[in-house]
Structures are given as structure tokens and as C-alpha cells.
Amino acid sequence: MNNAQLNELKNKYVANGAASPATQFADRAENSVIWDVDGNRIIDFAGGIGVLNIGHCHPKVVAAVQAQVANLMHTCQIVIPYAGYVQVAEKLSQLAPVRGHGKVMLVNSGAEALENAVKIARAATGKNNVICFDGGYHGRTLFTMAMNGKVAPYAGDFGTMPGNVFRAPYPVPSLGVSEEEAIRRLHTTLKTDANPRDTAAIVIEPVLGEGGFHPAPASFLKAIRDICDEHGMLMIVDEVQSGFGRTGKMFAIEHSGVQPDLITMAKSMAAGMPISAIVGTDKYMDASGPNSLGGTYSGSPASCAAVLAVLEVFEEENILARSMALGEKLGQRFTQWQEQFASVENVRHLGSMAAFDLVTADHKPDAELTAAMCKLAREKGLILIACGFYGNTLRFLMPVTIEDEVLEEGLAIVEACLAEFAA
């Protein structure tokens, strides 16, 4: 079937809220390029929203998944376990910088990881509240929607959100929130709404993802660690988007030296297979009773095989160093654009988690221009995606393994789009 025929099916059969606005249907992909069903070549600067740090269809991951599904596809690991689950648990425990000895549970999506992190924090502390941040994003299940620090398009149509979620501002000086102010307001939240006596955890993305690719200062993350320790609350770090090499470290929190109690991870940990994990200090992970965590597909054999292959690729192909090098290149190019185009501001990157803002002539967030940039780029054969509290951030999540020529080709398209709108 071609794009036109598939669009007809989409319009007729796919629920409005779940349908992609894109009109090209992906057929196959390799590293940083997708071909659609009509044979068009599209450069991918989104990586399935941060899932493909080692590229589309990495041969090593494909082979591992194929071998696994030929042998064992499913048992439900609480019915009868298999090697992959415990091997992944061992590796993640060794890699994730949580305090003390880390234990692991696996689930299927980022949102599910956050849901379970909150369950674990409640069981471990006997308390109910969580504190999250303005602009934060944690998923689309009911509780994670309540945790998100932005309403549209996530929670607006879905009625009353679960309670016990409180919020504080994330430190983003370009949006008028200094680190000092953010700490002061967090203390205010603890005084006015979220009594520490009733608060189980503070949940923070070490680099705000959907909220605009803003890294939190190390001193802010340390302050949260101290506040959690003072009040017997858990520090939960959401690395669903920032983890698995995006920032040049395995986990973004490593840049700060802070050891959280729990870390949630998903996306690039399995290069496209659905899986997520919570890694946390053993006494917290073991706080809930037998059969209190998990689900039918949690940590499926094929997804576990993918994780183990991904971790080998990280070693063999020096992914962390390449993420740093890619980030440097992006930073340099964006800085050139900032000098060249009045619309480009606030260039930033931590490793290859890189972004800049688009603004109007009077320096206001320009979401319209940002959407138009993404649309024009798509017409020129490049997938470019936006994010940000005001929807005016262009974020870059191309595979860390992108070939130099393809990177250059994609950046040239972004530059051509900027030039076209500047004219």
C-alpha cells in the first residue's frame, strides 16, 4: 500500500487523539534514515523521540531479537522466569548510580516506569504525596498525567486528575526562574501544600525533556538530594529521555555526582523494543509485598535480549564519547546560527541532548515559527521535532551513530529552513 491508501485507512480507522499528523508512512529504516512506503528518503533527527541513540535497526540488536523470538517469546516472568530478565537486572544494577546496592524491576513504557516508581516510593515511605516540576513530563497514564507540569495536550480532555501531586518550578533562567528562586519555591511547596510528613518523593528530570532540554544545575540536584534526606523522602530521577548515552554519560544525573534513590529509564535502552526499568536502592525496591509489582509483558524476553545487545554496542562503538562529540558539533553549528539568524536564541546542549529556541523580533517564544520549521523540514526530507514549555524549542535527538554526511545533509536542511523564514 502507498502513502495515500494508508492515509485513508488512518483517517477512517485510527482514533483522532492517537493518529499521527504525518502523512508519510515509514517502510524501513537504517541508522539515521527512514524510507517511506512510496520510496522517499527521510533523514531522522528525532530517533523515535530519543529511542534510537544507536540508530534504527542496529544489526546487533536485530540479530539478538531474532534469535530470542525464534527460541522463546513469552512466559510471563512471574509465571516462569528466564535468563534475560535477571541478566538485564544485573547489568542495570551495575550501571545505574543509585545509592547503595541497586535492585531492578522491568516494565514496558516510560509512563509505566514512573507509575511504579511512585508505587515503590509510597511502599517504602508509607507516605502519599509526590512533588514534580513545572514543564516536567512523565507520561500519559492517569497518575503520570497528573505529574506532568504542562496541561495541553496531555490532561486537558480527561477530567479530574489523581491527587497528591504537587509542583515546584524547574530552574530555567531563560524563562525567568533562577536556581535560587526554584529552591525557594520548592521550600514554599513543602510549607504550603506538600507537608514533608506526607510526602513520599520528589521526581525530577535531570535534563527537562519535553519541557525544553534544560539541564538542571548540579547544585540544584544536590539541594534536592539534601531536602529528600532531611525529610525522609525519596529522590526519583526520571531518565527516560536523558538516559542511555544521550548526554554523553550513561545517565544524565552522573554529571552532577548526585546519587538518587530511584532512577526510571526506557527509550534508548532497547533501541526500539518496548521496555522500561526502575533501578533503586535495594531496601526501597524490596519494600512492597510479593507479587505487588509487574505485569504480563514486563521485561519480555525479546526486549531483554535487545537491552543486552544495546549495552554491548555501547562498549564496542564508544557511544558515550560519540555522544559528546556529536553534542560539540551541534553546539558549534547552533551558535553559528544564533549569530546568523535573529530568531535563534538560547543554544544549549548536554552531550548530544541539544536544542535552541525560536523567538519573535521582540524575543518572545515563537511556537508558530517552530511548527512551521518542522513542517518545512519535513517537506525537505528531514524529521525535526519541537518541545518546550512554550512549544518554541527545536530539539535534536538524531542517532548518536549518525554518519557525518547524513548529519551534514540534515543540518543543511535546518539551515535552509531558517534562512527561508528569515528572508
Examine residue 240 and tell whether it contacts ligand PMP (CB under 6 A).
yes
Closest to ligand PMP by CB, 138 vs 255, is: 138
- What letter does residue 126 receive in the DSSP assignment? S
Tell me, residue by residue from 41 to 80, as one string, x for binding to ligand PMP by CB under 6 A and - for no binding. Answer: --------x-------------------------------
Examine residue 266 and tell whether it contacts ligand PMP (CB under 6 A).
yes
Examine residue 109 and tell whether it contacts ligand PMP (CB under 6 A).
yes
Examine residue 138 and tell whether it contacts ligand PMP (CB under 6 A).
yes
* Residues written for the chain: 423
Cell numbers at 195, concatenated: 507537608
- Sheet containing strand 165-168, edge to edge, reads 102-107, 276-281, 262-265, 234-238, 199-204, 129-133, 165-168
Buried b (16+ CB within 10 A) or exposed e, 204-234: bbbbbbbbbbbbbeeebbebbbebbeebebb
Q: Which stretch binds ligand PMP (CB under 6 A): 37-45, 137-145, 166-174, 403-411?
A: 137-145
Residues 341-400 that bind ligand PMP (CB under 6 A): none
Q: Shortest distance, CB of residue 279 to ligand PMP, whole angstroms? A: 15
Examine residue 137 and tell whether it contacts ligand PMP (CB under 6 A).
yes
What are the residues whose beta carbons fall under 8 Å from the beta carbon of 54, sequence distance 6 or more?
61, 268, 271, 310, 313, 314, 317, 319, 399, 400, 401
Q: How far apart are CA 370 and CA 393, in angstroms?
A: 7
Strand 199-204, strand 129-133: pairing: parallel
Examine residue 139 and tell whether it contacts ligand PMP (CB under 6 A).
yes
Closest to ligand PMP by CB, 394 vs 418, is: 394
Q: Which stretch binds ligand PMP (CB under 6 A): 19-27, 136-144, 303-311, 366-374?
A: 136-144
Examine residue 115 and tell whether it contacts ligand PMP (CB under 6 A).
no
Tell me, residue by residue from 195 to 214, as one string, x for binding to ligand PMP by CB under 6 A and - for no binding. Answer: ----------x---xx----
Ranked by CB distance to ligand PMP, the top (closest) residue is 110
Distance of CA 194 to the CA centre of its chain: 26
Q: Which stretch binds ligand PMP (CB under 6 A): 149-157, 234-242, 357-365, 397-405?
A: 234-242
Closest to ligand PMP by CB, 44 vs 210, is: 210
Closest to ligand PMP by CB, 108 vs 392, is: 108
Partners of 264 in beta bridges: 238, 278
Are 357 and 369 spatial neighbours (Cβ–Cβ below 8 Å)?
no
Q: Give the number of C-alpha atoms closer than 13 A to the C-alpha of residue 382, restricted to the C-beta side.
A: 24
Q: Shortest distance, CB of residue 342 to ligand PMP, whole angstroms? A: 30
Which one of 24, 241, 247, 303 is in contact with ligand PMP (CB under 6 A)?
241
Strand 344-350, strand 382-383: pairing: unpaired
Q: How far apart are CA 417 and CA 356, in angstroms?
A: 15
Examine residue 111 and tell whether it contacts ligand PMP (CB under 6 A).
yes
Q: Shortest distance, CB of residue 244 to ligand PMP, whole angstroms? A: 12
Q: Shortest distance, CB of residue 200 to ligand PMP, whole angstroms? A: 18
Q: How far apart are CA 248 and CA 353, in angstroms?
A: 9
Closest to ligand PMP by CB, 108 vs 343, is: 108
Which one of 48, 84, 110, 149 is in contact with ligand PMP (CB under 6 A)?
110
What are the residues whose beta carbons fall under 8 Å from the beta carbon of 356, sequence distance 6 or more?
334, 337, 338, 344, 345, 346, 347, 348, 393, 394
Q: Which stretch binds ligand PMP (CB under 6 A): 105-113, 196-204, 244-252, 377-385?
A: 105-113
**Kind and range of the H or E run holding 28:** strand 26-30
Closest to ligand PMP by CB, 53 vs 109, is: 109
Q: Shortest distance, CB of residue 50 to ligand PMP, whole angstroms? A: 7
**CA-based end-to-end distance of the chain:** 39
Binding site for ligand PMP (CB under 6 A): 49, 109-111, 114, 137-139, 205, 209-210, 238, 240-241, 266
